[in-house]
Each structure stands twice: as C-alpha cells, then as structure tokens.
Amino acid sequence: MKAEAWWRTLCNMAKWHCDDCGVRTATKRHESQTNVCPACKLARQRKRLEASAWIAPCPECGKEVTLTGKAAYAARSQGRGYCSRECGKKALIRNSSETMARTNRKYASARMIERNPMKRADVRAKVSTTLRTMQWCPTVRLGNGHGPTEPQAILAAALGWEMEVAVPTHMRQAGEYPTCYKIDIANEHLKVGIEVDGNSHLAIDRKDQDEKKDNLLSGLGWTVLRFKNKQVMDDLAGCVKTVLSTISRLSNTTPTLPMG
C-alpha cells in the first residue's frame, strides 16, 4: 500500500501525461521517450502478443493451437506448432524416421547392392550346397511347379514345344507375384501356354494360385490351357487336338505339328 501511495503521489507531482489514457505519469525520463503509464504499457505488450499470436491446427492431432511470444515466433519460423509436448515428440520421431528412410534409400540401398555377397560365385556355390544339404525348398512357389514331369515331357515332345518357359511378369521382387512365371509347355511365338497339373492342383490354395497365374498371363496376351496328368497319359491325341483347335481359333489358320 505504501508503494502504491508513493507511486500515486509521484504521478500527481509529475508534469507528464500518458499518451494513451491521459493520466499523469512519472515514467518519462527523456523528451524522446514515449510517455506511457505502466498499465497502458502492459496493454500495449498484450496487444503486440495477440497480434503476433500463432493460431493454426496441430499437424499431429488437428486440435486448434494458439501460441504467443517466443513459441509463436518459433512456430512461425518452422511453419508448424503443436498443442502439447506429446504431439511434438510424436512428430519428431516420425520426421526422424522418414529422414532416415530417405537417407537409406539414397545411400544404403546402393551400398548394399554393391557389397552384396551373392554376387560372388564362391558364396553362391556355398549357399546352394548348404540348401541342398538341408533339402530346403520354398513352401509356396506361386504356381511355378517343381520341374518337368513325365506327362509334361510326353506332351511337349508330341507338340515339339519347349518346356519350363519363363515369362517375365514385370512385377517387383518380393511382391504378391513372382518376377516371372514358368509355363510347363509353351510356344512363345504363338503365346500359347500349356499347364500339366497333378493331384496337388486339386487343393484350394493351389487352385487360387493357378487362377492368379492364368489371369496375369492372360493380361500379358497369353492363352493358357490346362490338362490333367491322367488326361495326357490316357488321351494324348485328344490333348493335341485341343491345342491345335485353340491355335486355329486364335490365328484363323490350320497349324501343323511335327507328329508321326
């Protein structure tokens, strides 16, 4: 109370008046200074803070953020402001992870490709030997089978076509599709492929794989025919006749095959 009374007495004795409210004030020390009382000075500071406030949604949670002072200046310089420390920490972790991923894609990927040990013949031979010793094989071959069978070889010889023909799928590695599909018997010029299936193709998952394979090959312009092993062994001439009629229907010509 004594301090306030002293201040009021000092202001009453002063010859200067506040530029904003007009009351007498003792704050002026030089003629060049702005003459403002303490209350109006605080009001001016408050207005400056309000004018420089940062009002925008939080980029992490979407909540509206109102920042003033140094926080508003930092948010304006960075182009973003967060509603809490938690949101700022989450954004920092995510941005750091994305930055590291971009750096790895730019440098680490090329370095790994360059230093890939599988490019060395001795390493590949060692891996192959180890896998053969383990009797390892992929659990899912995405419809590429396990190699030529007797019915497949008989039908291929009757048609004079190649076996195990690889057709690129133009898909990325380690995706839903393999980088290439192997067709049991195929004529690349006519784009006609033949699949000779055993009893394993009766399973539901194998049927799904076969359907996915046929759909992709059809999209690449191939015509795929499927025969059962028993069908080829019991009626080879009928299978060949089906192939010939399919070629005739596709090309409107009468094909000839190297058969006796």
Residue 143 resides in a domain: no
Residue 205 resides in a domain: yes
pLDDT in tens, 173-189: 666 778 888 898 999 99
Residue 212 resides in a domain: yes
- Residue 132 and residue 170 share a domain: no
- Residue 211 and residue 180 share a domain: yes
The mean per-residue pLDDT over the stretch 94-119 comes to: 85
Range of the domain at 214: 150-251
* DSSP secondary structure of 213-243: HHHHHHHTT-EEEEEEHHHHHH-HHHHHHHH
Q: Decide which of 114, 136, 158 is a domain's last residue.
A: 136
**Pair 190, 153: CB distance under 8 Å:** no
Residue 259 resides in a domain: no
Beta strand ranges found along 122-161 (DSSP E): none
- Residue 85 and residue 38 share a domain: no
Query: For the chain, how long is the longest CA-to-CA vector?
Result: 130
Give the pLDDT band (50/70/90) at residue 259.
very low
Q: How far apart are CA 192 and CA 157, in angstroms?
A: 16
Give the list of residues 6+ apart from residue 71 with CB closer than 8 angstroms, or none.
Answer: 54, 81
- Residue 132 and residue 175 share a domain: no
Beta strand ranges found along 126-217 (DSSP E): 162-168, 180-187, 192-197
- Residue 200 and residue 174 share a domain: yes
pLDDT (0 to 100) of residue 38: 74
Residue 260 resides in a domain: no
| The residue type at 136 | W
Percent of the chain with pLDDT over 70: 75
pLDDT in tens, 153-163: 999 999 999 98
Helix (H, G, I), strand (E, B) or coil at 164: strand
pLDDT (0 to 100) of residue 186: 92
Give the list of residues 6+ apart from residue 27 with CB closer than 8 angstroms, or none.
Answer: 16, 35, 36, 37, 38, 41
Q: How far apart are CA 15 and CA 24, in angstroms?
A: 7
Give phi and psi for 70, each to the nearest 5: -65, -35
Residue 227 resides in a domain: yes
Q: How far is CA 14 from the centre of its chain?
A: 73
- Residue 160 and residue 86 share a domain: no
pLDDT in tens, 60-85: 888 888 877 777 777 777 778 888 88
- Residue 33 and residue 67 share a domain: no
**Pair 220, 193: CB distance under 8 Å:** no
Question: What is the tally of structural domains in the chain?
Answer: 3
H helices of 14-84, where? 38-51, 69-78
- Residue 88 and residue 40 share a domain: no
- Residue 106 and residue 26 share a domain: no
Q: Decide which of 136, 166, 198 is a domain's last residue.
A: 136
- Residue 155 and residue 245 share a domain: yes
Residue 2 resides in a domain: no
Distances (CA, A) of 45 to 32, 38, 48, 56: 20, 11, 5, 22
- Residue 97 and residue 42 share a domain: no
Residue 177 resides in a domain: yes
pTM beyond 0.75, yes or no? no
- Residue 247 and residue 155 share a domain: yes
- The one-character DSSP state at 73 is H
> How are beta strands 24-25 and 54-57 bridged, if at all?
unpaired
Q: Decide which of 78, 111, 136 is a domain's last residue.
A: 136
